[in-house]
């Protein structure tokens, strides 16, 4: 996912930004996650933010994606959000972001 983010940011300067929202209770687990392989402490080009204690940001996108707030969160989830913060699409579960299909989809959205 990070390689795709780097590529899209380079190809579309100022039009694409990858953001990760952590629901951890603090920065220590986030730092520990990114300290391990394959990241080695690097998060570029990813912007990492910590959600509010009530997980309001995550909940808002989760519920918007489903048209309501059913059940518990299921992670990982990826949300495609436009520059106004509107949900465009979402992906539930892990994905192979090196597959050309996600790149093509995002490229189409950026045009």
Domain count, the chain: 1
DSSP-based three-state secondary structure for 109: helix
CATH number of the domain within which 73 lies: 3.40.30
| Rg, the chain, Cα only | 14
pLDDT tens for the chain, 111 residues long, are 888 988 999 999 989 988 888 989 899 999 998 898 888 887 777 889 999 988 888 888 888 888 888 777 777 888 998 888 888 998 888 889 999 999 999 999 888
Domain that holds residue 87: 2-110
Whole-structure pTM value: 0.78
The CA distances from residue 18 to 49, 69, 71, in Å, are: 11, 24, 27
Q: What are phi and psi of 84, to 5 degrees?
A: -90, 0
In this predicted structure, what is the pLDDT of residue 32?
Answer: 92
């Amino acid at each position: 996912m990070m390689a795709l983010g780097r590529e899209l940011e380079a190809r579309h300067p100022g039009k694409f930004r990858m953001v990760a929202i952590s629901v951890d209770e603090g920065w220590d687990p986030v730092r520990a996650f990114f300290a391990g392989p394959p990241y080695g402490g690097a998060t570029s080009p990813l912007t990492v933010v910590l959600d509010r204690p009530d997980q309001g940001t995550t909940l808002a996108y989760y519920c918007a994606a489903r048209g309501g707030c059913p059940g518990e969160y299921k992670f990982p989830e990826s949300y495609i959000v436009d520059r106004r913060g509107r949900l465009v699409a979402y992906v539930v579960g892990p994905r192979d972001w090196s597959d050309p299909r996600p790149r093509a989809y995002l490229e189409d959205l950026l045009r």
